[in-house]
């Protein structure tokens, strides 16, 4: 199915009428706590042997009582203030009842009518334009266990397997308003939301492993209408690409159903990567009846204003604000500032390099150019490379001071990135210092002229470009150490150009 909806404008055509899509996203993000939400079991379930991080509380054994993890509450408050939410003083937990083997208790502890926060917004950018999406609520709940179904692992088709290590891992639900209109907007919203969560240190942003998950509600309606169409919920999207493709597919599917005079049922559909299509999940068609009621085992929370204000005060500079400051302070362009603030580590690195006195533009060019390429090549960020942040700063200072040439800097960067070492010591030891003394270059200039009689003749005949081969000769003889601009000037003087 072609997806005309995914490109450019948000206008869809159903017959001769204009339609538009309405998208709302729900994000589930695991919190980076050491222990689980309601018990002391380790929350580090990835890679742990099956059922090795469990206890009577998270296994739902009779007679056990949950106790709230304070850090999880603080992380959720931190998220709520970062997303400009209101935080009511009183909040409580509720039971969401359903039978499914991924939660042995038979219910999930979640929040229903009095969530920890409401009514916020997230600012993001689409193609350089600023957008804002409302946040309905951010609440706190517990994650479920992991199920393995027939075909996933070795077991027979007549059973499913349960690993309870993930049961009770603190999980934040961030419900967005249906303010998004295109798959691009949805993708950018998610990218910026993930960026904020990682900046404030509450989530590791891993879509593949499922620590950051997204469901979407999608409907289409005639343009100008303020009624929502019948909404379809889409699940199983575990990359930004998948979200983008799934929404593009689903919007076009809905458009075609309406164009052919059909009706859209309210349903849940799963994105199937191998088919690049959403598929109806019939087993979940009948309406849920969760029978929420206040969790009797947990006293409510009374979040004092002082606590909220302390957490607000500890909030780091957020990516959007930081990019704006880099543009202002260092004269960077939109694009560079955006890339340099994509992660907090990247922005910290950039600012600490600049703080050592390296020029802002120079540092930006090297970080986004050669350093980014090496990080990608070695699958290793600069911070963990042999070079390190201090090494990069030292190398760029040598370059800026004219101690080494650009081509030597480039070579050293690649070597140090891999093997480590002290840039200044290496330059000294190998004699890589830039030759910018006219006397020292004089005999090489003579040599260049002597071996390049054709280039000399061409240059004298007015062919400017011919000079480059003579400069190249000197650079080659000095293994890139000569000051190329000086060589250029000396040659011109000698040739009377």
Partner 1 sequence: MPLTPEDIAHVAMLARLGLSDEERSRYGAQLDAILEHMTRLNDVDTSPVGETAQVGELVNVWREDISQPSLSVERALANAPAREADFFRVGAIQE
The residues that touch partner 1, with contacts defined as CB under 8 A, are 33-35, 39-43, 49-56, 59, 61, 67-73, 92, 97, 99-101, 104, 147-150, 154-155, 157-164, 283, 289, 291, 293-294, 296, 298-302
The distance from CA 466 to its chain's CA centroid, rounded to whole angstroms, is 48
Q: Specify burial of residue 384 (Cβ count, 10 A radius: 0-12, 13-18, 19+).
A: exposed
| 3-class DSSP state of 371 | helix
What torsion do the CA atoms of 308, 311, 315, 321 make, to the nearest 10 degrees? 10
Q: How far apart are CA 486 and CA 471, in angstroms?
A: 10
Kindly state the smallest distance separating residue 73's Cβ from partner 1, in Å: 7
Segment holding 140, helix H or strand E? strand 129-142
Rounded least distance, CB 289 to partner 1, Å:
6
Cβ 127 to partner 1 shortest distance, Å: 37
Q: Nearest approach, Cβ of 288 to partner 1 (angstroms)?
A: 10
**CB 35 to partner 1: min, Å:** 4
Q: Which is nearer to partner 1, 147 or 425 (CB)?
A: 147
Which of residues 301 and 337 has its CB atom nearest to partner 1 in the complex?
301
Least CB distance to partner 1 at residue 81 (A): 19
Closer CB to partner 1, 302 or 443, in the complex: 302
State which residue, 213 or 330, has the beta carbon closest to partner 1.
Answer: 213
CB of residue 162 to partner 1, shortest distance in Å: 4
Residue 400 class from Cβ within 10 Å (0-12 exposed, 13-18 middle, 19+ buried)?
A: middle
User: Residue 486: in which H helix or E strand, if any?
Assistant: helix 484-495
Q: Minimal distance in Å, beta carbon 11 to partner 1?
A: 36
- Residue pair 31/170 in contact (Cβ under 8 Å)? The answer is yes
Question: Taking the complex as a whole, how short is the minimal distance between the CB of residue 219 and partner 1, in angstroms?
Answer: 25
Distances (CA, A) of 155 to 59, 151, 162, 266: 22, 8, 12, 34
- Smallest separation, CB 368 to partner 1 (Å): 37
Report d(CA 184, CA 198) in Å as an integer: 21
Taking the complex as a whole, the smallest distance from the CB of residue 24 to partner 1 amounts, in Å, to 24
**Bridge partners, residue 146, by sequence:** 163
CB nearer to partner 1: give 268 or 343: 268
Tell me which H or E stretch contains 26: strand 17-30
Distance CA 91, CA 250 (A): 36
Show the tokens assigned to 448: 């260049």
Nearer to partner 1, 1 or 147 (CB): 147
- C-beta of 230 vs 279, nearer to partner 1: 279
For partner 1, the closer of residues 107 and 459 by Cβ is 107
Beta-carbon contacts of residue 456 (< 8 Å; ≥ 6 apart): 449, 466, 470, 495
- Please work out, in degrees rounded to the nearest 5, the angle formed at the alpha carbon of residue 230 by the alpha carbons of 253 and 127: 60
Residues 6+ apart with CB under 8 A from 211: 29, 30, 203, 204, 205
Q: Which is nearer to partner 1, 157 or 465 (CB)?
A: 157
Closer residue to partner 1 (CB): 39 or 445: 39
Nearest residue (CB) to partner 1, 43 versus 353? 43
Q: Is 51 or 256 the residue whose CB approaches partner 1 more closely?
A: 51
Q: How far apart are CA 475 and CA 398, in angstroms?
A: 18
For partner 1, which is the closer residue by CB, 47 or 431?
47
Tokens of 189: 């919203």
Q: Provide DSSP, 260-283.
A: TT--PPPEEEEEETTTTEEEE-GG
Residue 266: CB minimum distance to partner 1, A: 20
Tokens of 357: 């006195």
CA–CA distance, 467 with 469 (Å, rounded to integer): 6
Query: Minimal distance in Å, beta carbon 167 to partner 1?
Result: 11
* Residues ≥6 apart with Cβ < 8 Å to 309: none
How far is it, in rounded angstroms, from Cα 117 to Cα 86? 6
Give the span between the Cα atoms of 95 and 73, in whole angstroms.
17
Looking at the DSSP bridge assignments, the partners of residue 173 are: 28, 139
Residue 275, strand partner residues: none
């Amino acid at each position: 199915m072609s997806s005309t909806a995914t490109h450019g404008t948000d206008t869809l055509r159903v017959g001769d009428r204009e339609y538009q899509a309405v998208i709302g996203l729900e994000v589930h993000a695991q919190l980076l706590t050491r222990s689980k939400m309601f018990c002391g079991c380790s929350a580090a379930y990835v890679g742990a042997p099956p059922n090795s991080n469990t206890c009577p509380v998270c296994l739902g054994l009779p007679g056990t009582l949950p106790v709230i993890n304070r850090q999880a509450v603080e992380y959720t408050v931190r998220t709520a203030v970062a997303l400009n939410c209101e935080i009511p003083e009183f909040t409580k937990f509720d039971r969401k009842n359903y039978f499914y083997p991924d939660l042995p208790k038979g219910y999930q502890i979640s929040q229903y009518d009095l969530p920890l926060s409401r009514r916020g917004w997230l600012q993001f950018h689409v193609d350089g334009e600023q957008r804002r999406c409302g946040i309905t609520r951010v609440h706190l709940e517990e994650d479920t266990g992991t199920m393995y179904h027939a075909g996933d692992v070795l077991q027979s088709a007549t059973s499913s397997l349960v690993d309870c290590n993930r049961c009770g891992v603190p999980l934040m639900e961030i419900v967005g308003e249906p303010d998004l209109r295109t798959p691009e907007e949805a993708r950018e919203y998610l990218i910026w939301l993930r960026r904020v969560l990682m900046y404030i240190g509450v989530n590791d942003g891993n879509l593949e492993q499922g620590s950051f998950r997204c469901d979407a509600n999608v409907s289409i309606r005639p343009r100008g209408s303020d009624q929502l169409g019948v909404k379809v919920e889409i699940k199983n999207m575990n990359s930004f690409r998948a979200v983008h493709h799934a929404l593009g597919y689903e919007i076009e599917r809905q458009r075609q159903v309406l164009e052919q005079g059909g009706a859209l049922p309210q349903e849940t559909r799963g994105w199937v990567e191998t088919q690049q299509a959403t598929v109806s999940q019939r087993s979940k068609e009948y309406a849920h009846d969760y029978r929420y009621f206040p969790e009797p085992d947990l006293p409510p929370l009374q979040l004092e204003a002082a606590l909220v204000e302390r957490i607000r005060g500890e909030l780091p500079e957020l990516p959007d604000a930081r990019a704006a400051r880099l543009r202002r302070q260092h004269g960077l362009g939109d694009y560079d500032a955006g890339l340099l603030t994509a992660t907090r580590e990247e922005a910290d690195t950039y600012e600490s390099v600049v703080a050592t006195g390296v020029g802002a533009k120079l540092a930006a060019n090297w970080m986004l150019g050669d350093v980014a390429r090496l990080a990608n090549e070695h699958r290793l960020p600069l911070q963990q490379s042999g070079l390190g942040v201090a090494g990069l700063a030292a190398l760029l200072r040598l370059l800026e001071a004219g101690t080494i040439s650009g081509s030597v800097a480039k070579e050293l960067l690649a070597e140090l990135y891999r093997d480590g070492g002290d840039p200044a010591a290496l330059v000294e030891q190998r004699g890589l210092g830039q030759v910018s003394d006219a006397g020292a270059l004089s005999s090489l200039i003579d040599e260049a002229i002597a071996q390049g009689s054709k280039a000399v003749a061409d240059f004298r005949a007015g062919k400017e470009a011919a000079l480059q081969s003579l400069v190249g000769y000197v650079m080659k003889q000095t293994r890139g150490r000569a000051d190329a601009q000086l060589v250029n000037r000396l040659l011109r003087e000698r040739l009377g150009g």
